[in-house]
Structure 1
């Protein structure tokens, strides 16, 4: 199934793919540049950050946006925050009264449970990108190592959106957020992200490649790095995973 969305991007929907990000890479290797959304109703080998498996139940969303980000390589890290805000916007368009938050850098949380995540991969320099999004629409994975959430629980009596409808909402939200980013830079994106940040001002634990560190989440720097107030001083963390809010 194919179509076109409000931003002008193409939409292609597949019954089954191994992974929407892998399909984007195959397209890029063949010379495609997008913009196109590749949405799978089923993934047989979906993955997230650091190669972790992403479980997708029927009715959940798995999609990748293949496009030229149009930004210097050193700014591509900012796209994680643009994308996180866009996914939150899309979820909120179906559940406007839900209490949603963003976990650094781009997970969308509902009542502390992970509802959606983003995986961005640079496919070809300078800025050809696969922006993958997974969202729990109708299922809440029970075997996950962290709390989870689903959009269905936030919608009251309303029927959940189809993957195609969620793709349309996400495309519109991403188009709006990218327009702000292109015109005004990272500062308004950073401010909007901090306004919805989970655990800001709280003690957290961050898993790093060489161990973990605990401290109070104070801010983001101008590149989006996490500023953590630790017992031995302030640390700036460019990459890591927030494990908990306890600091134990």
Structure 2
């Protein structure tokens, strides 16, 4: 695998994922990274706003996925592991956790936003792996409990470009792992899983379901043990840990 995808660094952009999509649809495709110092319209899942102050990482990997949609479905988990690997590199003592499917949190405070998008053209499937990481500061308008890497590293000043270099390295490693099969990704993800064995509420299709987060299915689905003893596998929805404020 080519470790040296070119990096297109921009001062200000609406969204790195949006820019990656424009490039993917422009007819001249290349595997690359889009990195912006600032976003004016950063977004997460369900078009939620992602605050984008300078000093943090706003990046998207754009690449073809020869393994098709089967491998692409593993990438949210691989990306979450890559971000958590990066966090542990700079803050080795932090209790970094992943909340299904790809939120990276420390002490229930969000460190990163990940948005995976896919598209198809005559050459096959392409993937955009958008990763925003709070490096230098917590966005004042985060709208939820949040943290940043500098805070986790004990107030150490961190260069977001240096951290981005670490993130790209970890992402390439985790992408290679995901392409080899989901088993090792699933194992590593479960080791860092937040809420495993506890009560959670998931809202697939807007209808809340509560149960014990028992396991993760071989395809990445969240397995709930329901109050009546049956099991249900959830493949889309927001997870809320019962008892979390």
Instruction: Tell me if both proteins adopt one fold, taking TM over 0.5 as the criterion.
Output: yes
Quote the residue 1:245 is aligned against.
242
Is the alpha carbon distance of 1:222 and 1:186 closer, same or farther for their aligned partners in structure 2, counting shifts above 3 Å? Answer: same
Aligned residue in 2 for 1:63: 59
Instruction: Give the TM-score of the pair, scaled to structure 2.
Output: 0.93
- Runs of at least 5 residues in structure 2 that lack an aligned partner in the other structure: none
Match status 1:147 vs 2:155? no
Query: Does the CA contact (< 8 Å) of 2:78 and 2:185 recur in 1?
Result: yes
How many residues align structurally? 241
Worse-matched range after superposition: 84-93 or 206-215: 206-215
Report matched runs for 1:227-246 at 5 Å: 227-232=223-228, 233-246=230-243
Aligned to 1:161: 159
Is 1:173 matched up with 2:170?
yes
Q: Which moved more, 1:84-93 or 1:185-194?
A: 84-93
Query: 1:196 and 1:168, CA in 2 relative to 1: closer, same or farther beyond 3 A?
Result: same
Query: For residues 243 and 8 of structure 1, what CA distance do their matches in structure 2 show?
Result: 38
CA distance in 2: counterparts of 1:157 and 1:55, whole angstroms: 21
Q: Is the 8 A contact 1:205 1:246 kept in 2?
A: no
For structure 1, which runs of at least 5 residues remain unmatched after alignment? 1-5
Q: Where does residue 205 of structure 1 map in the other structure?
A: 201
* CA distance in structure 1 between the partners assigned to 2:28 and 2:83 by the alignment: 24
Matching residue of 1:3: none
Aligned mates of 2:240, 2:143 — CA distance in 1:
10
Residue from 28, 45, 51 that aligns with 1:49: 45
Task: Check the 8 A contact 1:215/1:229 in 2, yes or no.
Answer: yes
Deviations 1:132-191 (A, max 9, x none): 0011112223444432111111112532122x22221111001111222223x1001000
Cα distance in 2, alignment partners of residues 247 and 44 from structure 1: 31
The equivalent residue for 1:215 is 211
Among residues 120, 125, 128, which one is paired with 1:127 in the alignment?
Answer: 125
Using the alignment, how far apart are the partners of 1:210 and 1:28 within structure 2? 32
| Contact 1:99–1:110, Cα closer than 8 Å, also in 2 | yes
> Quick check: 2:65–2:71 contact (8 Å CA) kept in 1?
no
Check the 8 A contact 1:33/1:66 in 2, yes or no: no
Give the CA deviation at 1:68.
Answer: 1.1
Secondary structure class of the residue paired with 2:52:
coil
Distance in 2, matches of 1:18 and 1:186, equals 33
1:97 deviates by 1.5
**Over 4 Å off, 4+ runs:** none
CA shift for structure 1 position 15:
0.6
Q: Which residue in the other structure is 1:7 paired with?
A: 3
Which stretch shows the higher mean deviation, 202-211 or 221-230? 202-211
Provide the aligned C-alpha RMSD in A.
1.8
Q: 1: CA distance between counterparts of 2:90 and 2:146?
A: 18
**2:97 counterpart (83, 101, 106):** 101
TM score, norm. by length of structure 1: 0.92
